[in-house]
Structure 1
Amino acid sequence: MSTTRRDRTEAAVRAQRTKEARLRRRDLALAIASPVLLLVLWEVCARALIIDPRFFPAPTRILQTGIEMAASGELWSHAGPTLARLLVGGGLGAVAGVVVGLLMGSSRALNAALGPLFAALYPLPKIAIFPILLMIFGPTEVPKLLAVFITTFFILQINTVSGVWAIDPKLHEAGRAYGARGFNRFRHVILPGALPFVFSGLRTATGTAVVVITAVEFTGASTTGLGYLIWNSWQLFIPEKLYVGLVVIGVIGAALTFVITRSETLLLPWRRR
Protein backbone atom coordinates (compact mmCIF):
# COMPACT_ATOMS: atom_id res chain seq x y z
CA MET A 1 0.00 0.00 0.00
CA SER A 2 2.80 2.40 0.95
CA THR A 3 4.62 1.51 -2.27
CA THR A 4 1.54 2.39 -4.34
CA ARG A 5 1.17 5.68 -2.49
CA ARG A 6 4.84 6.46 -3.03
CA ASP A 7 4.55 5.68 -6.74
CA ARG A 8 1.57 7.99 -7.03
CA THR A 9 3.46 10.73 -5.21
CA GLU A 10 6.50 10.36 -7.46
CA ALA A 11 4.29 10.37 -10.54
CA ALA A 12 2.57 13.54 -9.33
CA VAL A 13 5.95 15.21 -8.73
CA ARG A 14 7.17 14.24 -12.19
CA ALA A 15 3.95 15.54 -13.73
CA GLN A 16 4.30 18.84 -11.86
CA ARG A 17 7.92 19.22 -12.96
CA THR A 18 6.94 18.48 -16.55
CA LYS A 19 4.18 21.07 -16.38
CA GLU A 20 6.54 23.68 -14.91
CA ALA A 21 9.13 22.98 -17.62
CA ARG A 22 6.44 23.33 -20.29
CA LEU A 23 5.27 26.61 -18.80
CA ARG A 24 8.84 27.94 -18.69
CA ARG A 25 9.31 27.07 -22.38
CA ARG A 26 6.01 28.77 -23.21
CA ASP A 27 6.97 31.89 -21.23
CA LEU A 28 10.35 32.04 -23.00
CA ALA A 29 8.69 31.66 -26.39
CA LEU A 30 6.22 34.45 -25.61
CA ALA A 31 9.00 36.69 -24.30
CA ILE A 32 10.90 36.26 -27.57
CA ALA A 33 7.92 36.32 -29.92
CA SER A 34 6.37 39.57 -28.65
CA PRO A 35 9.31 41.91 -29.46
CA VAL A 36 10.07 40.02 -32.69
CA LEU A 37 6.50 40.49 -33.92
CA LEU A 38 6.60 44.16 -32.94
CA LEU A 39 9.85 44.67 -34.87
CA VAL A 40 8.46 42.88 -37.92
CA LEU A 41 5.34 45.04 -37.80
CA TRP A 42 7.50 48.16 -37.45
CA GLU A 43 9.67 47.09 -40.42
CA VAL A 44 6.65 46.43 -42.63
CA CYS A 45 4.94 49.70 -41.71
CA ALA A 46 8.12 51.71 -42.31
CA ARG A 47 8.77 50.14 -45.70
CA ALA A 48 5.11 50.53 -46.73
CA LEU A 49 5.21 54.17 -45.58
CA ILE A 50 2.34 53.55 -43.18
CA ILE A 51 4.50 55.35 -40.64
CA ASP A 52 6.93 58.13 -41.52
CA PRO A 53 10.41 56.55 -41.87
CA ARG A 54 12.00 59.94 -41.20
CA PHE A 55 10.82 59.67 -37.59
CA PHE A 56 10.50 55.88 -37.34
CA PRO A 57 13.25 54.37 -39.51
CA ALA A 58 13.00 50.66 -40.21
CA PRO A 59 14.65 48.42 -37.58
CA THR A 60 17.01 47.06 -40.24
CA ARG A 61 18.31 50.60 -40.87
CA ILE A 62 18.77 51.13 -37.14
CA LEU A 63 20.62 47.82 -36.88
CA GLN A 64 22.87 48.70 -39.80
CA THR A 65 23.64 52.08 -38.23
CA GLY A 66 24.43 50.41 -34.91
CA ILE A 67 26.84 47.98 -36.58
CA GLU A 68 28.58 50.84 -38.39
CA MET A 69 28.86 52.84 -35.15
CA ALA A 70 30.27 49.82 -33.31
CA ALA A 71 32.79 49.15 -36.07
CA SER A 72 33.97 52.77 -36.09
CA GLY A 73 34.19 52.88 -32.28
CA GLU A 74 31.69 55.72 -31.98
CA LEU A 75 29.18 53.56 -30.11
CA TRP A 76 31.69 52.39 -27.52
CA SER A 77 32.95 55.94 -26.94
CA HIS A 78 29.46 56.77 -25.67
CA ALA A 79 28.35 53.49 -24.11
CA GLY A 80 31.56 53.11 -22.09
CA PRO A 81 31.28 56.41 -20.15
CA THR A 82 27.59 55.85 -19.42
CA LEU A 83 28.20 52.36 -18.10
CA ALA A 84 31.17 53.55 -16.02
CA ARG A 85 29.10 56.34 -14.45
CA LEU A 86 26.34 53.89 -13.60
CA LEU A 87 28.68 51.32 -12.07
CA VAL A 88 30.85 53.75 -10.09
CA GLY A 89 28.25 56.27 -8.98
CA GLY A 90 25.48 53.71 -8.59
CA GLY A 91 27.69 51.15 -6.89
CA LEU A 92 29.04 53.60 -4.31
CA GLY A 93 25.56 55.02 -3.72
CA ALA A 94 24.12 51.54 -3.23
CA VAL A 95 26.79 50.53 -0.72
CA ALA A 96 26.41 53.78 1.23
CA GLY A 97 22.62 53.50 1.16
CA VAL A 98 22.64 49.93 2.47
CA VAL A 99 25.12 50.74 5.26
CA VAL A 100 23.21 53.84 6.40
CA GLY A 101 19.90 52.00 6.07
CA LEU A 102 21.11 49.12 8.25
CA LEU A 103 22.36 51.55 10.89
CA MET A 104 19.16 53.60 10.87
CA GLY A 105 16.98 50.51 10.93
CA SER A 106 18.89 49.12 13.90
CA SER A 107 19.20 52.37 15.86
CA ARG A 108 16.09 54.26 16.95
CA ALA A 109 18.14 57.33 17.91
CA LEU A 110 19.95 57.48 14.56
CA ASN A 111 16.69 57.09 12.69
CA ALA A 112 15.14 59.89 14.74
CA ALA A 113 18.11 62.14 13.93
CA LEU A 114 18.42 61.43 10.17
CA GLY A 115 14.94 60.19 9.20
CA PRO A 116 13.23 63.61 8.84
CA LEU A 117 16.22 65.05 6.96
CA PHE A 118 16.30 62.20 4.45
CA ALA A 119 12.52 62.32 4.09
CA ALA A 120 12.81 65.98 3.09
CA LEU A 121 15.73 65.44 0.69
CA TYR A 122 14.46 62.31 -1.08
CA PRO A 123 11.54 63.94 -3.00
CA LEU A 124 13.83 66.61 -4.50
CA PRO A 125 14.25 65.94 -8.25
CA LYS A 126 17.83 64.76 -8.76
CA ILE A 127 17.97 66.59 -12.08
CA ALA A 128 17.16 69.83 -10.26
CA ILE A 129 20.17 69.28 -7.99
CA PHE A 130 22.52 68.80 -10.95
CA PRO A 131 22.99 72.55 -11.68
CA ILE A 132 24.10 73.04 -8.06
CA LEU A 133 26.63 70.24 -8.48
CA LEU A 134 27.87 71.87 -11.67
CA MET A 135 28.35 75.19 -9.87
CA ILE A 136 30.38 73.52 -7.14
CA PHE A 137 32.47 71.03 -9.13
CA GLY A 138 32.36 72.45 -12.64
CA PRO A 139 31.72 70.48 -15.87
CA THR A 140 33.70 67.43 -14.74
CA GLU A 141 32.82 63.81 -14.08
CA VAL A 142 32.14 64.49 -10.40
CA PRO A 143 28.64 66.04 -10.83
CA LYS A 144 27.52 63.16 -13.04
CA LEU A 145 28.77 60.55 -10.57
CA LEU A 146 27.19 62.41 -7.65
CA ALA A 147 23.83 62.62 -9.44
CA VAL A 148 23.78 58.84 -9.82
CA PHE A 149 25.19 58.38 -6.29
CA ILE A 150 22.41 60.46 -4.71
CA THR A 151 19.74 58.65 -6.72
CA THR A 152 20.78 55.17 -5.67
CA PHE A 153 21.67 56.18 -2.11
CA PHE A 154 18.19 57.33 -1.13
CA ILE A 155 16.40 54.40 -2.78
CA LEU A 156 18.65 51.84 -1.08
CA GLN A 157 18.52 53.65 2.26
CA ILE A 158 14.72 53.67 2.28
CA ASN A 159 14.40 50.05 1.19
CA THR A 160 17.02 48.83 3.66
CA VAL A 161 15.38 50.58 6.61
CA SER A 162 12.04 49.08 5.58
CA GLY A 163 13.68 45.66 5.34
CA VAL A 164 15.11 45.87 8.87
CA TRP A 165 11.77 47.01 10.27
CA ALA A 166 9.91 44.24 8.43
CA ILE A 167 11.85 41.45 10.17
CA ASP A 168 9.51 39.27 12.21
CA PRO A 169 10.00 39.99 15.95
CA LYS A 170 9.97 36.24 16.52
CA LEU A 171 13.23 36.00 14.56
CA HIS A 172 14.81 38.51 16.92
CA GLU A 173 13.56 36.49 19.86
CA ALA A 174 14.93 33.28 18.36
CA GLY A 175 18.28 34.96 17.78
CA ARG A 176 18.46 36.12 21.38
CA ALA A 177 17.45 32.68 22.58
CA TYR A 178 20.39 31.17 20.69
CA GLY A 179 22.77 33.77 22.03
CA ALA A 180 23.02 35.96 18.94
CA ARG A 181 24.51 39.26 20.05
CA GLY A 182 26.34 42.09 18.34
CA PHE A 183 27.82 41.09 14.99
CA ASN A 184 26.31 37.59 15.10
CA ARG A 185 22.84 39.10 15.48
CA PHE A 186 23.55 41.39 12.55
CA ARG A 187 24.93 38.54 10.44
CA HIS A 188 22.30 35.90 11.13
CA VAL A 189 19.13 37.95 11.71
CA ILE A 190 19.23 41.55 10.49
CA LEU A 191 21.19 41.20 7.24
CA PRO A 192 19.36 38.11 5.88
CA GLY A 193 16.02 39.67 6.81
CA ALA A 194 16.80 42.95 5.05
CA LEU A 195 18.42 41.50 1.91
CA PRO A 196 15.15 40.88 -0.01
CA PHE A 197 14.31 44.56 0.39
CA VAL A 198 17.86 45.51 -0.59
CA PHE A 199 17.62 43.61 -3.87
CA SER A 200 14.20 45.08 -4.55
CA GLY A 201 15.72 48.51 -4.00
CA LEU A 202 18.63 47.67 -6.30
CA ARG A 203 16.27 46.84 -9.15
CA THR A 204 14.34 50.07 -8.63
CA ALA A 205 17.52 52.12 -8.27
CA THR A 206 18.98 50.67 -11.47
CA GLY A 207 16.09 51.86 -13.60
CA THR A 208 16.02 55.26 -11.91
CA ALA A 209 19.79 55.70 -12.23
CA VAL A 210 19.62 54.94 -15.97
CA VAL A 211 16.99 57.68 -16.37
CA VAL A 212 19.02 60.16 -14.30
CA ILE A 213 22.36 59.58 -16.06
CA THR A 214 20.68 59.84 -19.46
CA ALA A 215 19.06 63.15 -18.50
CA VAL A 216 22.33 64.43 -17.04
CA GLU A 217 24.19 63.59 -20.26
CA PHE A 218 21.60 65.60 -22.21
CA THR A 219 23.09 68.79 -20.79
CA GLY A 220 25.93 70.75 -22.31
CA ALA A 221 28.12 69.62 -19.42
CA SER A 222 28.76 66.34 -21.23
CA THR A 223 30.16 65.49 -24.64
CA THR A 224 30.18 61.73 -24.07
CA GLY A 225 27.60 59.18 -23.05
CA LEU A 226 24.48 57.71 -24.56
CA GLY A 227 22.40 60.62 -23.35
CA TYR A 228 24.65 63.00 -25.27
CA LEU A 229 24.44 60.71 -28.32
CA ILE A 230 20.63 60.83 -28.22
CA TRP A 231 20.49 64.60 -27.72
CA ASN A 232 23.08 65.35 -30.39
CA SER A 233 21.36 63.00 -32.84
CA TRP A 234 18.10 64.84 -32.26
CA GLN A 235 19.75 68.21 -32.85
CA LEU A 236 21.37 66.97 -36.07
CA PHE A 237 18.21 65.03 -37.00
CA ILE A 238 19.87 61.63 -37.35
CA PRO A 239 17.06 59.41 -36.03
CA GLU A 240 18.92 56.15 -36.69
CA LYS A 241 21.65 57.10 -34.20
CA LEU A 242 19.03 58.34 -31.76
CA TYR A 243 17.33 54.94 -31.79
CA VAL A 244 20.67 53.17 -31.46
CA GLY A 245 21.32 55.15 -28.29
CA LEU A 246 17.89 54.26 -26.93
CA VAL A 247 18.38 50.57 -27.68
CA VAL A 248 21.81 50.43 -26.04
CA ILE A 249 20.51 52.21 -22.94
CA GLY A 250 17.72 49.66 -22.72
CA VAL A 251 20.19 46.80 -23.13
CA ILE A 252 22.43 48.18 -20.37
CA GLY A 253 19.48 48.59 -18.00
CA ALA A 254 18.20 45.09 -18.76
CA ALA A 255 21.67 43.56 -18.34
CA LEU A 256 22.22 45.23 -14.96
CA THR A 257 18.77 44.16 -13.79
CA PHE A 258 19.49 40.58 -14.91
CA VAL A 259 22.76 40.53 -12.95
CA ILE A 260 20.96 41.80 -9.84
CA THR A 261 18.18 39.22 -10.21
CA ARG A 262 20.66 36.36 -10.68
CA SER A 263 22.68 37.55 -7.70
CA GLU A 264 19.52 37.54 -5.59
CA THR A 265 18.78 33.98 -6.70
CA LEU A 266 22.27 32.85 -5.70
CA LEU A 267 22.52 34.76 -2.41
CA LEU A 268 18.92 34.18 -1.28
CA PRO A 269 18.22 30.54 -2.18
CA TRP A 270 15.16 30.43 0.07
CA ARG A 271 13.45 32.93 -2.25
CA ARG A 272 13.97 30.92 -5.45
CA ARG A 273 10.84 30.37 -7.50
Structure 2
Amino acid sequence: MSTAPAARTTTTADDREHRTLVAARAQRARDRRLATRDLVLSIATPILLLVLWELCARVEVIDPRFFPPPTRIVSAGGEMLVSGELWQHTAPTLMRLAVGGGLGALCGIVVGLLMGSSRALNAALGPLFSALYPLPKIAIFPILLMIFGPTELPKIIAVFITTFFIMQINTVSGVWAIDRKLLEAGAAYGATGLSRFRHVILPGAMPFVFSGLKTATGTAVVVVTAVEFTGATTTGLGYLIWNSWQLFIPEKLYVGLVVIGLIGALVTTILSRSEKLLLPWRRER
Protein backbone atom coordinates (compact mmCIF):
# COMPACT_ATOMS: atom_id res chain seq x y z
CA MET A 1 0.00 0.00 0.00
CA SER A 2 2.91 2.36 0.68
CA THR A 3 4.60 1.70 -2.66
CA ALA A 4 2.24 3.89 -4.73
CA PRO A 5 2.62 7.04 -2.60
CA ALA A 6 6.37 6.57 -2.60
CA ALA A 7 6.38 6.18 -6.39
CA ARG A 8 4.22 9.30 -6.76
CA THR A 9 6.59 11.23 -4.50
CA THR A 10 9.60 10.14 -6.56
CA THR A 11 7.84 11.06 -9.79
CA THR A 12 6.90 14.47 -8.40
CA ALA A 13 10.48 15.11 -7.31
CA ASP A 14 11.77 14.07 -10.75
CA ASP A 15 9.25 16.35 -12.47
CA ARG A 16 10.22 19.24 -10.22
CA GLU A 17 13.91 18.69 -10.94
CA HIS A 18 13.20 18.47 -14.67
CA ARG A 19 11.21 21.72 -14.62
CA THR A 20 14.00 23.40 -12.70
CA LEU A 21 16.59 22.32 -15.28
CA VAL A 22 14.37 23.44 -18.15
CA ALA A 23 13.80 26.82 -16.50
CA ALA A 24 17.54 27.22 -15.85
CA ARG A 25 18.38 26.43 -19.50
CA ALA A 26 15.72 28.86 -20.69
CA GLN A 27 17.09 31.57 -18.41
CA ARG A 28 20.65 31.02 -19.68
CA ALA A 29 19.44 31.16 -23.27
CA ARG A 30 17.57 34.40 -22.51
CA ASP A 31 20.67 35.88 -20.87
CA ARG A 32 22.75 35.01 -23.95
CA ARG A 33 20.19 36.62 -26.25
CA LEU A 34 20.12 39.77 -24.13
CA ALA A 35 23.94 39.91 -24.03
CA THR A 36 24.08 39.58 -27.83
CA ARG A 37 21.43 42.27 -28.22
CA ASP A 38 23.27 44.62 -25.88
CA LEU A 39 26.53 44.08 -27.77
CA VAL A 40 24.87 44.76 -31.12
CA LEU A 41 23.21 47.93 -29.79
CA SER A 42 26.43 49.19 -28.23
CA ILE A 43 28.22 48.85 -31.57
CA ALA A 44 25.43 49.80 -33.96
CA THR A 45 24.28 52.99 -32.18
CA PRO A 46 27.60 54.91 -32.47
CA ILE A 47 28.00 53.74 -36.07
CA LEU A 48 24.53 54.95 -37.00
CA LEU A 49 25.14 58.30 -35.32
CA LEU A 50 28.43 58.72 -37.21
CA VAL A 51 26.75 57.84 -40.51
CA LEU A 52 23.99 60.36 -39.77
CA TRP A 53 26.60 62.99 -38.91
CA GLU A 54 28.49 62.26 -42.15
CA LEU A 55 25.36 62.56 -44.28
CA CYS A 56 24.14 65.72 -42.57
CA ALA A 57 27.55 67.37 -43.00
CA ARG A 58 27.80 66.31 -46.66
CA VAL A 59 24.42 67.77 -47.58
CA GLU A 60 25.07 70.75 -45.26
CA VAL A 61 22.13 70.16 -42.96
CA ILE A 62 24.74 71.06 -40.34
CA ASP A 63 27.55 73.52 -41.02
CA PRO A 64 30.64 71.46 -42.03
CA ARG A 65 32.87 74.34 -40.97
CA PHE A 66 31.95 73.65 -37.34
CA PHE A 67 30.95 69.99 -37.66
CA PRO A 68 33.28 68.47 -40.28
CA PRO A 69 32.34 65.01 -41.56
CA PRO A 70 33.79 62.13 -39.50
CA THR A 71 35.76 60.96 -42.55
CA ARG A 72 37.65 64.27 -42.59
CA ILE A 73 38.32 63.97 -38.86
CA VAL A 74 39.65 60.42 -39.31
CA SER A 75 41.81 61.59 -42.21
CA ALA A 76 43.23 64.44 -40.11
CA GLY A 77 43.88 62.04 -37.23
CA GLY A 78 45.72 59.68 -39.56
CA GLU A 79 47.92 62.49 -40.87
CA MET A 80 48.69 63.62 -37.32
CA LEU A 81 49.51 60.07 -36.31
CA VAL A 82 51.89 59.57 -39.23
CA SER A 83 53.63 62.91 -38.65
CA GLY A 84 53.98 62.22 -34.91
CA GLU A 85 52.02 65.33 -33.93
CA LEU A 86 49.26 63.32 -32.26
CA TRP A 87 51.67 61.38 -30.04
CA GLN A 88 53.52 64.60 -29.27
CA HIS A 89 50.37 65.86 -27.54
CA THR A 90 49.00 62.55 -26.24
CA ALA A 91 52.14 61.43 -24.41
CA PRO A 92 52.38 64.47 -22.07
CA THR A 93 48.69 64.20 -21.16
CA LEU A 94 49.07 60.49 -20.40
CA MET A 95 52.15 61.20 -18.27
CA ARG A 96 50.34 63.87 -16.24
CA LEU A 97 47.36 61.58 -15.72
CA ALA A 98 49.48 58.57 -14.80
CA VAL A 99 51.81 60.35 -12.37
CA GLY A 100 49.41 62.85 -10.82
CA GLY A 101 46.35 60.60 -10.93
CA GLY A 102 48.20 57.47 -9.84
CA LEU A 103 49.91 59.09 -6.86
CA GLY A 104 46.76 60.98 -5.91
CA ALA A 105 44.65 57.82 -5.99
CA LEU A 106 47.19 55.85 -3.96
CA CYS A 107 47.56 58.54 -1.30
CA GLY A 108 43.79 59.09 -1.18
CA ILE A 109 43.14 55.37 -0.63
CA VAL A 110 45.75 55.12 2.14
CA VAL A 111 44.54 58.25 3.94
CA GLY A 112 40.92 57.20 3.50
CA LEU A 113 41.55 53.77 5.00
CA LEU A 114 43.36 55.31 7.95
CA MET A 115 40.67 57.93 8.54
CA GLY A 116 37.90 55.38 8.20
CA SER A 117 39.60 53.09 10.72
CA SER A 118 40.64 55.77 13.21
CA ARG A 119 38.03 57.97 14.83
CA ALA A 120 40.67 60.35 16.19
CA LEU A 121 42.36 60.79 12.81
CA ASN A 122 39.01 61.40 11.12
CA ALA A 123 38.14 64.01 13.76
CA ALA A 124 41.47 65.74 13.16
CA LEU A 125 41.50 65.76 9.34
CA GLY A 126 37.83 65.40 8.41
CA PRO A 127 36.80 69.06 8.81
CA LEU A 128 39.94 70.26 6.99
CA PHE A 129 39.39 67.98 4.02
CA SER A 130 35.68 68.88 3.94
CA ALA A 131 36.62 72.55 3.63
CA LEU A 132 39.28 71.97 0.95
CA TYR A 133 37.37 69.52 -1.25
CA PRO A 134 34.77 71.98 -2.65
CA LEU A 135 37.49 74.39 -3.86
CA PRO A 136 37.70 74.30 -7.68
CA LYS A 137 41.01 72.60 -8.40
CA ILE A 138 41.55 74.65 -11.55
CA ALA A 139 41.17 77.81 -9.44
CA ILE A 140 44.31 77.04 -7.43
CA PHE A 141 46.34 76.32 -10.57
CA PRO A 142 47.55 79.97 -10.82
CA ILE A 143 48.90 79.66 -7.27
CA LEU A 144 50.79 76.52 -8.26
CA LEU A 145 52.19 78.37 -11.27
CA MET A 146 53.39 81.23 -9.06
CA ILE A 147 55.13 78.79 -6.71
CA PHE A 148 56.62 76.30 -9.16
CA GLY A 149 56.64 78.22 -12.43
CA PRO A 150 55.42 76.96 -15.83
CA THR A 151 56.85 73.47 -15.36
CA GLU A 152 55.27 70.03 -15.30
CA LEU A 153 54.92 70.06 -11.51
CA PRO A 154 51.88 72.40 -11.25
CA LYS A 155 49.94 70.29 -13.77
CA ILE A 156 50.78 67.06 -11.98
CA ILE A 157 49.88 68.58 -8.59
CA ALA A 158 46.51 69.79 -9.92
CA VAL A 159 45.66 66.26 -11.07
CA PHE A 160 47.04 64.82 -7.82
CA ILE A 161 44.80 67.03 -5.67
CA THR A 162 41.75 66.17 -7.76
CA THR A 163 42.13 62.41 -7.49
CA PHE A 164 43.31 62.53 -3.87
CA PHE A 165 40.14 64.09 -2.47
CA ILE A 166 37.80 61.91 -4.53
CA MET A 167 39.56 58.73 -3.43
CA GLN A 168 39.82 59.84 0.19
CA ILE A 169 36.09 60.54 0.42
CA ASN A 170 35.06 57.33 -1.34
CA THR A 171 37.42 55.18 0.71
CA VAL A 172 36.24 56.62 4.02
CA SER A 173 32.64 56.00 2.92
CA GLY A 174 33.57 52.44 1.99
CA VAL A 175 35.03 51.72 5.42
CA TRP A 176 32.03 53.21 7.19
CA ALA A 177 29.63 51.24 4.98
CA ILE A 178 31.01 47.88 6.09
CA ASP A 179 28.29 45.86 7.80
CA ARG A 180 28.85 45.86 11.55
CA LYS A 181 28.03 42.15 11.59
CA LEU A 182 31.11 41.50 9.45
CA LEU A 183 33.26 43.41 11.92
CA GLU A 184 31.76 41.44 14.80
CA ALA A 185 32.29 38.17 12.93
CA GLY A 186 35.91 39.11 12.30
CA ALA A 187 36.40 39.91 15.98
CA ALA A 188 34.79 36.60 16.94
CA TYR A 189 37.35 34.77 14.80
CA GLY A 190 40.19 36.69 16.37
CA ALA A 191 40.81 39.16 13.54
CA THR A 192 42.56 42.13 15.12
CA GLY A 193 45.01 44.74 13.96
CA LEU A 194 46.57 43.98 10.58
CA SER A 195 44.57 40.77 10.18
CA ARG A 196 41.30 42.68 10.70
CA PHE A 197 42.39 45.32 8.20
CA ARG A 198 43.44 42.76 5.59
CA HIS A 199 40.51 40.37 5.79
CA VAL A 200 37.60 42.62 6.77
CA ILE A 201 38.16 46.35 6.23
CA LEU A 202 40.07 46.30 2.95
CA PRO A 203 37.77 43.85 1.09
CA GLY A 204 34.71 45.66 2.44
CA ALA A 205 35.91 49.05 1.23
CA MET A 206 37.14 47.93 -2.20
CA PRO A 207 33.81 48.34 -4.06
CA PHE A 208 33.77 52.01 -3.00
CA VAL A 209 37.44 52.33 -3.96
CA PHE A 210 36.76 51.14 -7.50
CA SER A 211 33.72 53.38 -7.75
CA GLY A 212 35.88 56.30 -6.67
CA LEU A 213 38.57 55.39 -9.20
CA LYS A 214 36.05 55.56 -12.04
CA THR A 215 34.81 58.94 -10.86
CA ALA A 216 38.34 60.22 -10.31
CA THR A 217 39.37 59.14 -13.82
CA GLY A 218 36.74 61.31 -15.48
CA THR A 219 37.43 64.27 -13.20
CA ALA A 220 41.21 63.99 -13.67
CA VAL A 221 40.79 64.02 -17.46
CA VAL A 222 38.70 67.19 -17.19
CA VAL A 223 41.25 68.89 -14.92
CA VAL A 224 44.33 67.96 -16.98
CA THR A 225 42.58 69.21 -20.14
CA ALA A 226 41.65 72.45 -18.39
CA VAL A 227 45.17 73.15 -17.12
CA GLU A 228 46.51 72.50 -20.62
CA PHE A 229 44.09 75.16 -21.88
CA THR A 230 45.77 77.86 -19.80
CA GLY A 231 48.76 78.47 -22.05
CA ALA A 232 51.19 77.30 -19.39
CA THR A 233 52.22 74.52 -21.78
CA THR A 234 52.65 73.93 -25.48
CA THR A 235 51.97 70.21 -25.33
CA GLY A 236 49.02 68.05 -24.35
CA LEU A 237 45.63 67.25 -25.79
CA GLY A 238 44.11 70.26 -24.04
CA TYR A 239 46.63 72.53 -25.74
CA LEU A 240 45.91 70.80 -29.07
CA ILE A 241 42.18 71.51 -28.70
CA TRP A 242 42.69 75.13 -27.62
CA ASN A 243 45.27 75.90 -30.28
CA SER A 244 43.12 74.27 -32.97
CA TRP A 245 40.23 76.51 -31.91
CA GLN A 246 42.41 79.62 -32.06
CA LEU A 247 43.66 78.68 -35.53
CA PHE A 248 40.19 77.46 -36.57
CA ILE A 249 41.23 73.93 -37.53
CA PRO A 250 38.12 72.02 -36.39
CA GLU A 251 39.37 68.64 -37.65
CA LYS A 252 42.31 68.72 -35.24
CA LEU A 253 40.05 69.98 -32.47
CA TYR A 254 37.78 66.97 -32.89
CA VAL A 255 40.77 64.62 -33.06
CA GLY A 256 41.85 65.89 -29.64
CA LEU A 257 38.35 65.40 -28.25
CA VAL A 258 38.15 61.86 -29.63
CA VAL A 259 41.53 60.87 -28.17
CA ILE A 260 40.57 62.27 -24.75
CA GLY A 261 37.32 60.30 -24.88
CA LEU A 262 39.18 57.13 -25.84
CA ILE A 263 41.62 57.55 -22.96
CA GLY A 264 38.78 57.94 -20.47
CA ALA A 265 36.88 54.97 -21.91
CA LEU A 266 39.99 52.77 -21.93
CA VAL A 267 40.90 53.52 -18.31
CA THR A 268 37.31 53.00 -17.18
CA THR A 269 37.16 49.65 -19.00
CA ILE A 270 40.43 48.54 -17.39
CA LEU A 271 39.09 49.49 -13.96
CA SER A 272 35.83 47.60 -14.56
CA ARG A 273 37.71 44.48 -15.67
CA SER A 274 40.06 44.76 -12.70
CA GLU A 275 37.12 45.08 -10.33
CA LYS A 276 35.56 41.88 -11.65
CA LEU A 277 38.92 40.11 -11.38
CA LEU A 278 39.84 41.31 -7.89
CA LEU A 279 36.31 41.28 -6.45
CA PRO A 280 34.79 38.03 -7.77
CA TRP A 281 31.82 38.32 -5.40
CA ARG A 282 30.79 41.48 -7.26
CA ARG A 283 30.58 39.85 -10.67
CA GLU A 284 27.31 40.11 -12.50
CA ARG A 285 25.50 36.85 -12.95
Q: TM-score range by the shorter chain?
A: over 0.9
Query: How far off is 1:11 after superposition?
Result: 1.7
| Aligned counterpart, 1:173 | 184
- CA-based RMSD of the aligned residues comes to 0.7
| Rg comparison, structure with higher value | 2
| Aligned counterpart, 1:182 | 193
| Aligned counterpart, 2:235 | 224
CA distance in 1, matches of 2:33, 2:220: 36
Aligned partner of residue 30 in structure 2, secondary structure: helix
* One-letter amino acid matched to 1:224: T
| Aligned counterpart, 1:140 | 151
Aligned partner of residue 252 in structure 1, secondary structure: helix
C-alpha distance after superposition, 1:74-108 (max 9, x if no partner):
00111111111111110100000000000000000
Query: How far off is 1:221 after superposition?
Result: 0.8
| Same amino acid, percent of matched pairs | 77
| Aligned counterpart, 2:257 | 246
Query: How far off is 1:6 after superposition?
Result: 2.3
C-alpha distance after superposition, 1:27-73 (max 9, x if no partner):
11111111111111110010001111110000000000001100111
Aligned partner of residue 51 in structure 1, secondary structure: coil
CA distance in 2, matches of 1:163, 1:232: 42
Q: 1:8 aligns with which of 14, 19, 29?
A: 19
CA distance in 1, matches of 2:81, 2:70: 16
CA distance in 2, matches of 1:169, 1:51: 58
Structure 1 stretch 10-19 or stretch 96-105: which is displaced more? 10-19
- Matches for 1:75-114 after TM superposition, within 5 Å: 75-114=86-125
| Aligned counterpart, 1:160 | 171
CA distance in 2, matches of 1:154, 1:130: 16
| Aligned counterpart, 1:45 | 56
| Aligned counterpart, 1:66 | 77
* One-letter amino acid matched to 1:108: R
Aligned partner of residue 150 in structure 2, secondary structure: coil
C-alpha distance after superposition, 1:170-200 (max 9, x if no partner):
1110000000011110011100110000000
| Aligned counterpart, 2:6 | none
- 1:28 is aligned to 2:77: no
CA distance in 1, matches of 2:120, 2:60: 65
| Aligned counterpart, 1:126 | 137
C-alpha distance after superposition, 1:228-263 (max 9, x if no partner):
000000010000000000000000000000000100
Aligned partner of residue 173 in structure 1, secondary structure: helix
CA distance in 2, matches of 1:212, 1:18: 44
CA distance in 1, matches of 2:18, 2:78: 56
Q: 2:215 aligns with which of 199, 204, 209?
A: 204
* One-letter amino acid matched to 2:18: D
TM score, norm. by length of structure 2: 0.95
CA distance in 2, matches of 1:27, 1:75: 33
| Aligned counterpart, 2:280 | 269
Query: How far off is 1:8 after superposition?
Result: 2.0
CA distance in 2, matches of 1:174, 1:53: 64
CA distance in 1, matches of 2:184, 2:112: 22
CA distance in 2, matches of 1:143, 1:42: 39
CA distance in 1, matches of 2:27, 2:16: 16
C-alpha distance after superposition, 1:119-146 (max 9, x if no partner):
0000000000111111111111101110
| Aligned counterpart, 2:5 | none
Aligned partner of residue 28 in structure 1, secondary structure: helix
Aligned partner of residue 135 in structure 2, secondary structure: coil
Query: How far off is 1:20 after superposition?
Result: 0.6
